[in-house]
Amino acid sequence: MKLGLLAGCLNPREAEHYQERIWEASGGEGSITHACATREAPNHRIGRPRCMHPGMVRVETPEQVIRECDGLIVFPSEDGQENRTLCEMSLQSGKPTYIRGFFTPGGETAESYFTMAEKCGTPCWAASPLRFAREFENLPPADTVSSWGPGSFRSAGMDQLEPLMMLMRQTPERVMALKDEACERLSVAFEGGRFAGIACFIQGSPFQMNLGMGGKILTVQSDYFNAFIHQLVRFFRTAEAPVPRGDTLRTLHVMETGVRALACPGEWIAI
């Protein structure tokens, strides 16, 4: 099972981590064999001139990766046009495709990507690895969730939003944001008058949640990345996505609204 990695710029340690975990989880059946970064990269990131990692073949074009591999992993780029190009090429390939995290902050764009993939017969999915943390298994629906974690909302908010949406299991209606230099806070109002919130600490924080179940505090300590990799390997073997499309789209619509809410703090923005 030859897998290809596509990116704008790529952290070599990240590529190595994926490669080693996939090899282990598949029992040596699968590995990242091809990789392509489409542009030069600053600092510690790898651009086109260098090989990604021993065992990976550096190729010059995404087309070659798509042509020679059985499945694709796409690391979204911060460059909007580059991101669209990589995603569209992959989703038109007909080959099982995983797009790390979320490939767009917009629900409508995501819907168009899913439609494109369906027309081209491309199995695909996108999710945060944190979704697969053992701590979230077999939990009942929550009346409210207060979550906090590291990073900005744009870069890491999905890691909190996706578990929050899983636990609330209701239709979100509007989002309000507050922010300062240290933290971005977002409240999500759901149908029926229920609320949940996330706090994104720019300088770092553990992933924790207060689930509103008698003051229960949940701290993510399990190897959720390993659980995610096993789901990824299963997907490349079966072409069956482990995350329903509807879950992805609902979360992306909240993400899109959250970005808009951060531009006008203190105002409720309808989803």
**pLDDT (0 to 100) of residue 11:** 72
Region 47-67: mean pLDDT is 69
Region 30-58: mean pLDDT is 63
Of 50-54, 80-84, 207-211, 250-254, which gets the smallest average pLDDT?
Answer: 50-54
- pLDDT surpasses 60 at 44: no
**pLDDT (0 to 100) of residue 70:** 96
Region 260-267: mean pLDDT is 96
pLDDT, tens digit, for every residue of 137-170?
Answer: 888 888 899 999 999 998 888 899 999 999 998 8
What contacts 24+ positions apart, CB below 8 Å, involve 57-65?
57/33, 59/34, 59/35, 60/36, 61/36, 62/6, 62/36, 62/38, 62/86, 62/89, 62/90, 63/89, 64/34, 64/36, 65/4, 65/5, 65/6, 65/34, 65/35, 65/36
- pLDDT surpasses 60 at 240: yes
Which phi and psi (to 5°) does residue 173 adopt? -120, -35
Q: How many CA atoms lie within 13 A of 154 on its CB side?
A: 9
Residue 204 structure tokens? 């770092």
Region 224-236: mean pLDDT is 96
- Whether 246 and 171 have beta carbons less than 8 Å apart is answered as no
Give the residue from 158, 189, 191 showing the smallest Cα distance to 268.
189
Greater pLDDT, 46 or 236: 236
pLDDT, tens digit, for every residue of 9-26?
Answer: 777 778 888 989 999 999
- Whether 92 and 121 have beta carbons less than 8 Å apart is answered as no
Beta-carbon contacts of 118 under 8 Å, excluding residues fewer than 6 positions away, are none
Q: Taking each helix axis from N to C terminus, what angle separates 224-238 and 12-25, rounded to the nearest 10 degrees?
A: 70
pTM above threshold 0.75:
yes
- pLDDT surpasses 80 at 108: no
**pLDDT (0 to 100) of residue 106:** 67
**pLDDT (0 to 100) of residue 116:** 94
**pLDDT (0 to 100) of residue 46:** 44
**pLDDT (0 to 100) of residue 101:** 62
Region 203-218: mean pLDDT is 85
**pLDDT (0 to 100) of residue 168:** 92
pLDDT, tens digit, for every residue of 248-257?
Answer: 999 999 999 9
Mean pLDDT of the chain: 87
CA 120 to chain centre: 22
**pLDDT (0 to 100) of residue 50:** 41
Of all residues in the chain, the percent with pLDDT exceeding 90 is 55
- pLDDT surpasses 60 at 41: no
Give the Å distances, CA to CA, from 79 to 55, 85, 214, 217: 28, 10, 44, 37
